[in-house]
A and B are shown apart, each in its own frame.
Chain A
Amino acid sequence: MSSAPEPAAFRYIGKQRRTKEDPRFVTGRGRYVADIALPGMKHVALVTSPHASARIKAIRTEAALAMEGVHYVLTGEELCANVDPLLVGVDTPKVVRYPLAHGVVRYAGEWIVAVVADSRALAEDAAEKVEIDYEPTPYVLDPEQALLPDAVLVHPDHGSNVLYRRTFTWGPVAEDFAHSQHQLSFRVHWGRSATVPIETFGVAAQWHPGTQLLDIWASIQMPKFPDQTARALRLPGNAVRVHFDVDVGGSYGVKRGIKHTVLVGYLAKRLGMPVRFIEDRLENMRGGDMHGPDRIFDMTAAFDGDGTIRSLKIRALDDVGAYAGRSPLQLGKPVGAIVGPYRINSVEYEPISVLTNKTAQEAVRGFGQAPTNYAIETAIDRIARHLGMDRIELRRKNFIAKDQFPYLIPSGSTYDSGDFEAVLDKALDAAKFDDLVAARDAAREAGRLAGIGIATCLEPSGGNSAFEPLFNPKNETTTWMDSCLVRVDLSGAITGVMNTSTSGQGHETLVSTVLGEVLERDPDSIRVVHADSLNALPSNSPVGSRMAIMLGGAAAGAAKKIKAALMAIAAHNLGVPEAALEYRDGNISVGDDASKSLSWDQLVEIAHRKFHKLPPGLEPGLQAKFVWEVPTGGGLPTADGRIQMYPCYSFEAHIVLVEIDPLTAQPKILDYVCGHDCGTMINPAIVHGMTYGGIAHGIGAALYEKFAFSDNGQLASQTFMDYLMPSAMEVPGIEIVDHCTRSPLTEFGQKGSGEAGYLGAPAAIASAINDALAALGKSVDELPMTPLAIWTTLQGESSK
């Protein structure tokens, strides 16, 4: 079990405390990329493809360039000759992507020409004057058709539309299937949606010829962003300075504007003018590279009459659109929780990443885990229905028990800790489950459709890079560190330096809370700043629910070094061994003897000004850095593809009551409870907020949000009039019940929570809808479950 203390033992951690960030945001004093105004800054607008697939025969830019206020018109021909292609996450050297199309376009909305003008409005005026001759070519939109031998190829040089495909077999799948009493198969489809932050992606760049330095301000949440930008622009890494102090207006995974940044960086350098590009909503929706997974699951489960689930076969076909960045890897992360919270002996997993002529997919909250959880939880519900067993009992029967941790799953990851039964029990209690059942049954008696949804899901956290070598043998990245620098200045004030930007996760609160906890100083007095990329220690950005673990751990590590230095100073000056000293609130004394003590201020002064009192060998000043690797991280996969993915496993149990109007087919969520265990919470309000928000995202994915394409490859839901995100009227008053199973791998027992809620909500809502429809022998097998989809299902033949 964890060596960390019980949460109640902490002074600041886990307490209800205000955040450091909120006051500047509530007064309108955040500083987002669109708030940055550089003198002489020029603005970009884009010409984008009206075709899903076409050859570009000619581009005429003269009329646009001749317009007043227009400074430059950039085509793909020039850009592609002067920058390197953007990186792809898998080994597909012929799938080449640049910020602007060159020669061919592969989806409607793909960027072709960038216009630079004095204002965005003028740039749009000029973009209208760019003339492009197209020769439309055949396209493929359906991922299964894209797999066929005679399919239209999105990237002909690649030779097929398959970016990645492998069948993993972990454990005795054939034997488990042969010996199981029952099998069932089904297909579900996770529709294409995304987190769609209210701020679009934006970037401003300025080139300084005198110092040969490119300054970048961007709305960014992306690992290796400065490195990739520099590489594509053929600049040394130290010629790109990314300012991480830009507030990011929401991301949840998608703010990966690498192509935006390479484009704007190139223009800024080429023109010698500061250049800014803020996507408008149409550019963002059509070509912003922020669509999420679009995944068809073919599931087969092998199980016994008593409910024991022996084995799963999972085929996951993911439509990544026309280009690949890290999107194929979103099929890799679920390997680390491929059996969910269940003791399933063996798994066959066939991930297939396929190209189509659609907008490119990028990372979305959970990095592919939420769709997989939806498929697994659907399997659990179906097995229960098949056996006539209670869904909750079936889950309990298969749960990994709390005394079985650390628990090694067939695909090679070890779950750190958990108490799934306790969390589920708490959620059932909070939901007053018997009352919920009575309410559902009463609604049914009255002729309405009602259902209860259950989902018990894992949130792998502490993101590492393990899926990179797993999906690309040429990639041996196993390091995925994070860092913190702590300084105590001469006045005794503490400053924590973090090394990435923040998109709402409250990292300043995280760092200050941890530093305050370790150093026993008031977190309100601690300042936390964001370095720029040239000042920064290594970071891999807040992906994979990792910052409470990694940045929190780094801050604790650095603070402990500060504390150790203070102890050394005190021991040296008080003439006693460190073991005789007591550290309290930053002051150090010999036992309780007040006469033999040094205050914080005195210790700090010695460190900064009194070299003669410094112990030999101790660095003057008072600063410490701590850089560390993800716990358990650092291994390459085995030949059969077993690997330790993320180290820590949070758990969530969702209980939801949904009613469906039997005539209009409109669903309504009446009750929503989420039991949540992410170990020790650093700041409960932040954890709860992210969880509520994750559930709201899940409600969107389950019921409302879809990037729908028309038969001719146009994005049909390209505005907020058709891409429907839930408002306060759709998201119910969610209740969260906390539980704490500490992680043995982290400083305070914390696990991650940045993707909380989203990883189970779609599964739970789908479960509720299908519980309602099960009474009629029907089910909806695709997200989002819109009124139209539900109504169509209600009209159809019963499946049983």
Chain B
Amino acid sequence: MKAAPFEYVRPESLAEACALLEEHGPDAKLIAGGQSLVPMMAMRLARPAWLVDINRLEELKAISIDDNTLTIGAAVRQCVIERDSGAQANLPLLGRALKWVGHVQTRNRGTVGGSIVHADPSAEIPLVACVLDATLVLKDASATSEVQAREFFFAPMVTAIAPEQCLAEIRFPTWGEARVGCAFIEVSIRHGDFALVSACAQVALDEEGRCIRAALGIGGASPFPHALPEVGEMLVGRKLDELAIVEAAGAAADLIDADGDLHATADYRRHLARVTAARALASAVEDAQ
């Protein structure tokens, strides 16, 4: 299980990285944490001719907060978010999701952006990005463009990114309401495994406990992380009691186009979508109390 040969290059800047991507096109592949790419290369399922290492690009490693946005550089390691008090305070949902991501050793190396670009449908970080309606900032040699996470994921490992583009940063909207709660619920066979199904929810409540805003999404069930803004809208203005949650979870499960595989059938995944959606909402409501 050894990778096919490749040329390795470590650019000094993002601009240089983008120039390399432009030069080599689909023959080049960016490597950040490598926690998904290196195994694929070991099995020769991926065999780039050029491997462009962006691990050291400081311009991809910033975390910044302004009024209602937390911006995370694509090459920020997952463990850094776990330890970053600003990120934890402003984006607790990402912190909760990270508890389900792999293990200490993979989070020490894996990056936020790498998980998004790899686009495993059961991965946690892409789901959070979709649910919170994050904006992905993509750069190539000549331009910067933006795409919403919800528009980014097409199918397992298929995304809107072009071969010459590099994900530079992810802008997560932060919620400013006084009472915000969130939760990330996952069903996996073992801890640290890919999710059979995951659900995450974030809610903002007014003083009476009525919903001002709600965001919900399901991962692992369908070919891409599935944000369900229409379900969130259903909940606005309502007390998030058991009935409301059951209705929302049912609507969520109905909207999912579930897939089956070795570990779970489509029916089981649809069922789990309903269960995890309900639990995520209930837990988010409790978190907002």
Contact = CB atoms under 8 A, between A and B. Distances in A.
A and B touch in the complex (CB under 8 A): yes
B86 interface: no
A792 B4 CA distance: 42
A281 B193 CA distance: 18
Contact of B191 (A282, A727, A786, A791): A727
Most buried by A among B5, B189, B268: B189
B1 A281 contact: yes
Interface in A706-734: 708, 716-717, 719, 721-722, 724, 726-727, 729-730
B191 A729 contact: yes
Contacts of A724: 189-190, 193
Contact of A664 (B4, B5, B44, B272): B272
Nearest to A787: B189
Interface in A658-674: 663-664, 666
A458 to B, nearest CB: 30
Nearest to B47: A128
A448 interface: no
A139 interface: no
B262 A717 contact: yes
A663 B275 contact: yes
B190 A788 contact: no
Interface string B226-270: 000000000000000000000000000000000000111100100
Nearest to A722: B262
A280 interface: yes
Given A282-B1, A708-B262, A729 B268 contact: no
A281 B190 CA distance: 20
Contacts of A280: 1
A791 B271 contact: yes
A120 interface: yes
Most buried by B among A664, A708, A724: A664
A591 B268 CA distance: 79
Nearest to A717: B262
Nearest to B265: A788
Nearest to B103: A727
A788 B264 contact: yes
B43 A282 contact: yes
B2 interface: yes
A584 B101 CA distance: 61
A437 interface: no
A664 B262 contact: no
A704 interface: yes
Contact of B268 (A125, A727, A792): A792
A405 B92 CA distance: 64
B262 A716 contact: yes
Interface in A256-280: 280
Interface in B155-208: 187, 189-194, 196
B198 to A, nearest CB: 12
A717 B262 CA distance: 8
B275 A788 contact: no
A125 to B, nearest CB: 7
Contacts of A722: 262-263
B109 to A, nearest CB: 17
A23 to B, nearest CB: 25
Interface in B1-23: 1-5
A724 B271 CA distance: 23
A679 B1 CA distance: 45
Nearest to A791: B268
B101 to A, nearest CB: 14
A729 B194 contact: no
A721 B262 contact: no
Given A727-B191, A729-B191, A664 B264 contact: no
A726 B187 contact: no
Contacts of B189: 666, 704, 724, 786-787
Could you tell me the dominant secondary structure of chain B's interface residues? loop
A666 B191 contact: no
A124 interface: yes
Interface residues of A, number: 28
Contact of B192 (A717, A729, A787, A791): A729
A788 B272 contact: no
Given A125-B4, A280-B1, A729 B190 contact: yes
For chain B, which range describes its interface: under 10, 10 to 19, 20 to 34, or 35 or more residues? 20 to 34
Contacts of A282: 1, 43
Given A280-B1, A664-B275, A722-B262, A727 B187 contact: no
Contacts of A708: 262
B2 A121 contact: yes
B264 A124 contact: no
Interface string A107-135: 00000000000001100110010000000
Interface in A124-156: 124-125, 128
B91 to A, nearest CB: 26
A281 B2 CA distance: 11
A360 to B, nearest CB: 21
A590 B190 CA distance: 66
A727 B104 CA distance: 14
Nearest to A666: B187
A693 B104 CA distance: 23
A518 B190 CA distance: 47
A715 to B, nearest CB: 11
A188 to B, nearest CB: 22
Nearest to B193: A724
A125 B5 contact: yes
B254 to A, nearest CB: 17
A700 to B, nearest CB: 10
Most buried by B among A120, A666, A786, A787: A787
A124 B264 CA distance: 34
Contacts of A729: 190-192
A590 B271 CA distance: 83
Interface in A477-494: none
Contact of A727 (B2, B190, B263, B265): B190
Contacts of A786: 189, 263
A730 B275 contact: no
Contacts of A719: 43
Nearest to B189: A724
Contacts of A663: 275
B72 to A, nearest CB: 27
A791 B192 CA distance: 21
Contacts of B43: 282, 719
A717 B263 CA distance: 10
A792 B187 CA distance: 16
B196 A787 contact: yes
Contacts of B4: 125
B187 A124 contact: no
A663 B194 CA distance: 19
Nearest to B263: A788
A660 to B, nearest CB: 13
A791 B267 CA distance: 10
Interface in A271-306: 280-282
A326 B5 CA distance: 40
Contacts of B271: 791
Contacts of B265: 788, 792
B38 to A, nearest CB: 14
A724 B193 CA distance: 9
B188 to A, nearest CB: 9
Given A121-B2, A664-B272, A717-B262, A787 B187 contact: yes
Nearest to A282: B1
Given A124-B1, A717-B262, 8 more contacts: A121-B5, A124-B44, A282-B43, A664-B187, A664-B272, A664-B276, A726-B190, A788-B268
23 contacts: A121-B5, A125-B5, A128-B44, A282-B1, A663-B275, A704-B189, A708-B262, A717-B262, A721-B194, A722-B262, A724-B193, A727-B190, A727-B191, A729-B190, A729-B191, A729-B192, A786-B263, A787-B189, A787-B196, A787-B264, A788-B264, A788-B268, A791-B268
Closest 8 CB pairs of A and B: A121-B2, A280-B1, A729-B191, A663-B275, A664-B187, A716-B262, A124-B2, A791-B268
